[in-house]
Amino acid sequence: MELGLTDEEGSVLALLTRRPTESYKKHVMRIARADGRTGQIARTIKLADLDDHLNHIRIRRRTPDYAWAREQLTGSQQTNRETSPAACSANRAA
């Protein structure tokens, strides 16, 4: 792949890159709904980015859509863990 990235890294980067015509909320929801390992990695990175933004914003007392985005991604991470093939297998075995 170009830039020395693996296919997976390129897919994660594509998910994290906001498209020129894409609203912030649509961008967040695209990451939140992304399937598989690529989606999990992108959500983990985006959550860390949002946490950093939120830590700086608390100081300035501004609250853009970052808190909303964090809720969407956190809920999506939990849902994806519960519906992953490994989780479903573990639930059947219990």
pTM of this prediction? Answer: 0.68
Q: Is residue 92 part of a domain?
A: no
Share of the chain above pLDDT 70, in %: 70
CA distance readout (Å), 90 to 8, 16, 38, 74:
26, 31, 22, 22
Confidence of residue 34 (pLDDT cuts 50, 70, 90): very high
The CA-to-CA distance between both ends of the chain, in Å, stands at 42
Q: Is residue 90 part of a domain?
A: no
Confidence of residue 48 (pLDDT cuts 50, 70, 90): very high
* 86/52 Cα distance (integer angstroms): 31
Q: Is residue 71 part of a domain?
A: yes
How many domains is the chain partitioned into structurally? 1
Q: Is residue 61 part of a domain?
A: yes
**What is the extent of the structural domain holding 20?**
2-85
* 53/93 Cα distance (integer angstroms): 41
